[in-house]
Amino acid sequence: MIEVKDLVVDFKGKTILNKLSFTLDRGEIIGLVAPNGTGKSTLMRGIMNYLVPNSGQIEIDKLSYKNRREEKKIHRLITMMPDQNDLYNYLSGMDHLKIYQNMWHQTAISPQKVIEELKMTDYCHKKVGDYSLGMRQRLCFAMQIVANTPYMLMDEVMNGLDPSNVALISQVLIEKKREGKGIIIASHLLENLTVFSDIIFFLKDGILTKKIVKGQAERPVVRFTSKKKLLTLADFKVVCLPNGTSYISVETEAQLTEIINALMTAGIHQFSYSPITLNDLYFYYFE
């Protein structure tokens, strides 16, 4: 288990993480949602001990970064997906995979197996300098999969991938979860996060401001669009989002009937009644 307790990170007088706490179990995937520059990477770097927090505690399987001996043990348990800038243009994809296989030899799996699973056979022996953005991103993901550590941190793993590769990597993530890996994934592909995440956190102002648990449906809302901005409708509060969508929260069936009648009276005939979407929540919290 990864335990983050009251983590505080300040940078140039600004609080990036503010007493942030959560746990990650093995066999669980946490999706992390936040705009760029609001702390996702800082959190992952803190978990890896690439930066020292101002206060708080991080434990990984009851180990902490209190000395070099425990730090060495921790780094056998956890990897952070490499950035494309970490790749060497003069080496091949296979060279990179073998480097990770050697570095994490205690847990590593066969590079060839990963190459076949991620459909990289056609280019794995070519120099990385000739790779496209999507090929480089798949290689970064493959390197971490080869290392095969119990815990994995991934920042924008789907960046630059076409829909077929997004689906492929999503399936691999589901398989890793079944194998008992604990994974944290930061992504802007919000609806894709629901495919494999057990918990989705919204990170805002240094805290986890919203928690969505798989299987626990959000309360249904009435969603609609209107040419004029409505702040209230029949005494119900209307939430207007920057993406042009408006919605009204519904508590009871009687309220639903009142809201529908009010919409029809206002000339609004196109609406839906369903749980609020992740995209709508993103606009609500961040825009």
Q: What is the mean pLDDT of residues 106-121?
A: 95
Q: What angle do CA 42, 84, 18 make, to 5 degrees?
A: 5
> Which of 238, 235, 228 shows the shortest CA–CA distance to 267?
228
pLDDT in tens, 246-265: 888 888 888 889 888 888 88
Distance between start and end Cα atoms, the chain = 33
What is the structure's pLDDT at 165? 92
- Which residue ranges make up each domain of the chain? 2-213, 220-286
DSSP 43-102: HHHHHTTSS--SEEEEEETTB-TTSHHHHHHHHHHEEEPPPGGGS-TTSBHHHHHHHHHH
CA distances from 110 to 91, 94, 139, 179, 228 (A): 19, 11, 14, 16, 59
Tell if the pTM clears 0.75, that is, is over it: yes
Q: Is the pLDDT of residue 276 over 80?
A: yes
pLDDT in tens, 26-83: 999 999 998 887 788 999 999 999 999 999 999 999 999 988 999 999 999 999 999 9
Q: Is the pLDDT of residue 229 over 80?
A: no
Topology (CATH level 3) of domain 2-213:
Rossmann fold (3.40.50)
Q: Is the pLDDT of residue 225 over 90?
A: no
